[in-house]
Amino acid sequence: MTTITRWNIPRTPVARAEQQHQTRLMEATRSGTLWIGLAYVLLYPALAISLVLYFGALLLDVFPALSALVGVPTVTVGFAASTLLIAMNVALYVVVTLVSLGLSAASIGREKQGKTWDSLLLTGVNARQIVLGKWSATLHTLWPDFALVWMLRLGMIAWLIAIGGGEFLYHTSLAGLPPRFFTLLLTAAMVAAHTAIDAGLTAALGLLGALVEGQGAAAALLIGVGRLVWSIAPLVVPYYVFATYEMHDSEFHLLFWGAFMLVSAALTALLLRWAERLAVRQHALPA
């Protein structure tokens, strides 16, 4: 019986087989001593700092006494801890993005190298199901890593609000919630949505890059540069607007952020459709 994934994608035999392969691969990769050591020395402490900062800041308006414990990060947790939080946010995002690109591209490359596209036809699935199956398998395999990216970003939210004060607060509140409390809750939800959409876009780019024949290096370079530009756009563009037009409106940033996510979701759908067409053209798969 067909089951439904977290992204409401039909779980075909292709998707299940691909996820099993990717899961075994990632488990083997993470079993090394170096990876475990880095996790305990860098990742887990940064994650603890992030959660303490976020939930501490979230509770400040409920329990004012916590202000003695949670304040500006550079004062309360120290310069080294703040540096670790920022560095791990960047490092983990880069690593997870590269792994996502690699896993999704390898899911296509393995079929091409093994000349097993014809075998896929025997499963009774079409090009759309194959492409979506490979895509959803990558997202399923890496969802714990995406969740870690999101949790580290919670600490960055609290850090920015602490050092920026009212400049980073959304003053349009609901039900009389204090601006800081409302901003923390809203941005956490927005960051969760952004992380999920961003993951889907990355996996789609990996699939497309592997299906572009005869342009392997050029396609990889273009995808890498485009991915970098798209990643920093939601940070650079709003502040460029603020500086150029002397705007300091946090609500403008919220609207831009929402529009950016909608465009990213639409772009992901277009990339997946393009990958489907390439699969049909190159391997004579049924549409």
| Distance separating alpha carbons of residues 117 and 195, to the nearest angstrom | 32
Angle between helices 216-245 and 78-114 in degrees, nearest 10: 150
Beta bridge partners of 4: 10
Do 170 and 183 meet the contact criterion of CB atoms below 8 Å apart?
A: yes
- At residue 2, the pLDDT reads 35
- At residue 8, the pLDDT reads 44
- At residue 263, the pLDDT reads 93
- At residue 35, the pLDDT reads 63
Beta bridge partners of 10: 4
- At residue 110, the pLDDT reads 78
- At residue 3, the pLDDT reads 37
- At residue 53, the pLDDT reads 85
- Of 239, 203, 240, nearest to 223 (Cα)? 203
Do 155 and 187 meet the contact criterion of CB atoms below 8 Å apart?
A: no
Phi, psi for residue 4 in degrees, rounded to 5: -120, 135
Q: Could you tell me the CA-to-CA distances from 287 to 100, 139, 205, 281 in Å, in that order?
A: 26, 23, 20, 10
- At residue 131, the pLDDT reads 87
- At residue 108, the pLDDT reads 82
- At residue 208, the pLDDT reads 87
pLDDT in tens, the chain (287 residues): 333 344 444 466 777 778 887 888 777 776 656 666 777 778 888 999 899 888 888 887 666 665 555 544 444 456 777 888 889 998 899 889 988 988 888 888 777 676 666 666 566 677 788 888 889 999 999 999 999 999 999 998 888 887 766 666 776 656 677 778 888 888 899 999 999 999 999 999 988 888 876 555 666 677 777 777 788 777 666 666 665 655 556 667 778 888 889 999 999 999 999 988 888 776 545 55
- If one counts every other C-beta atom within 10 angstroms of the C-beta of residue 127, the result is 22
